[in-house]
Amino acid sequence: MEQFRLPKINMPKLELPNAVQDVLREADEKLAHRPKLLKQFKNCFPNTLETTTKLMEDGTTFVITGDIPASWLRDSVEQVIHYVPIAKEDADLQRIISGLIKRHIQYIHIDPYANAFNESANDWHWNTTDETDMSPWVWERKFEIDSLCFVVRLAYTYWKETGRADIFDAGFKSAMRKIYDVFRTEQRHFEQSPYRFTRNNGIIEDSLRNAGMGMPVNYTGMIWSGFRSSDDACDFHYNIPGNMFAVVALRQMQEFAEWVFRDMGFLAQLQTLELEIDYGIKLYGIYRHPEFGPIYAYETDGFGNYCLMDDAGTPGLMSIPYLGYVTADDPIYQNTRRFALSKENPFYFEGKAAKGIGSPHTPKDYIWHMALSMQGITAQTAEEKLEMIAILEATDADTGYMHEGFHSDDPTIFTRSWFAWSNSLFSQLVYRAMKEDIL
């Protein structure tokens, strides 16, 4: 295996937009009685802008994930999404976010199957021996259904929050068509898809079986995905949270088609695809659990096989209301949530320091800060939100930042000290709690 040697990352530190500085001043007042939480929030809220963001000369924005010099479509959206609600009156913040959207549109035109991209066509790759249709622009080419959904999510949220339509040019519409085409193709992966991926590094989770095509699936109307949001290969290739996210993205794309581009033909195609996927979720994606009742499965193959688990990454089962597929009081979601937060979930861990959801991407007994943040964001009670904030506050190993996974018995043992997505999701939770006046 030849894996790329990570170069030293030296991103320019941006001057913080006024709206971001206003939030930090607000935190000084509302969190003054909790000095450690205040320090964490003031570190984490601007972290994306201070360490991972670069304004490009072409008007786009390049956002690395943190300790890796590449931009993930998914991560970069979640790294900036907490700035969108405060961007309406801030031209500098609008420049940053709209620039990232424009960058995403460029990347989709380069390769809609890739999950992570380079700043330029420098031919950097996570693994130089991947067997797939690679490009000098592409850092990694793992097809994850959520990557395209996150691009739509950021554009839609930005449009709704700011009212600005400057992102909606011909290139944007073309990219939406590419997303639709990929979704439609991957409904019948084995019959129609050109996508293959094999990585010969001895790590099962990094490669697709069956000559790079993945394990067999039955037609369900859902979209095939090679990999999960953790970048690990799917066990069964209809990822249910990912398909739920696709339903939401298609609904948002319908608004683009109807109200921005006035393309009623495209609107009808998007509506049809949405209904097909949603029907597949309801018919194939619900498992009758003997303890919890009907729950959403994590994955299925359409042949009656299910993967019952939850992963700390988004989209996951915990994040279903966050994505907008159903509300948090949905009965099946509530059953699913109880399952995910129980030992029936093979990646739920309890230790001396914390309990929560981890991932097959990290070792056993490692809980993810992102999972705790998402549990708080989707909680229905102030008590649960405050409980999650308290655990997050106590498990940073006194670094002032969030991490990827930490050992449930000892938070000083952790992975990824510089993980901007985790910092941003934590910031979302705390900022929402500030606005709800529950802190």
Residue 41 CA from chain centroid, whole number: 21
Helix (DSSP H) and strand (DSSP E) numbers for the chain: 16, 15
The amino acid sitting at 49 is L
In a domain, 64, yes or no: yes
- 370 inside domain: yes
Among residues 183, 194, 185, the alpha carbon closest in space to that of 151 is found at: 183
> Would residue 3 count as lying in a domain?
no
Q: 242, 310 in Cβ contact below 8 A? A: no
- Cα–Cα distance measured from residue 430 to residue 413, given in angstroms and rounded to the nearest whole number: 24
CATH code for position 324: 1.50.10.10
Q: What domain range includes position 180?
A: 18-435
Give residue 196's pLDDT: 98
**Beta partners for residue 72, in sequence order:** 116
Contact 286/278 with Cβ under 8 angstroms?
no
- The predicted pLDDT at position 3 comes to 44
**Cis peptide leading into residue 46 (ω within 30°):** no
Q: Are 372 and 429 in contact (CB under 8 A)?
A: no
pLDDT computed for residue 203 by the predictor: 87
**Within-domain flag for 368:** yes
Instruction: Please report, for residues 55, 149, 163, the alpha-carbon distance to residue 168 in angstroms, rounded to integers and kept in the order given.
Output: 20, 17, 12
Contact 208, 214 (CB under 8 A): yes
In a domain, 1, yes or no: no
- Take residue 67 and report the two structure tokens written for it: 């300790």
* pLDDT by 10-residue block (mean), the chain, 439 residues: 52 92 98 98 98 97 94 98 98 98 98 98 93 97 98 98 97 98 98 97 91 97 97 96 98 98 98 98 98 98 98 97 98 98 98 97 96 98 98 98 98 95 98 97
The answer to whether residue 50 is domain-embedded is yes
113 part of a folded domain: yes
Residue 333 lies in a domain: yes
What's the whole-model pTM score? Answer: 0.97
Domains contained in the chain, number: 1
What pLDDT is stored for residue 114 in this prediction? Answer: 98
Question: In sequence order, what are the beta bridge partners of 307?
Answer: 299
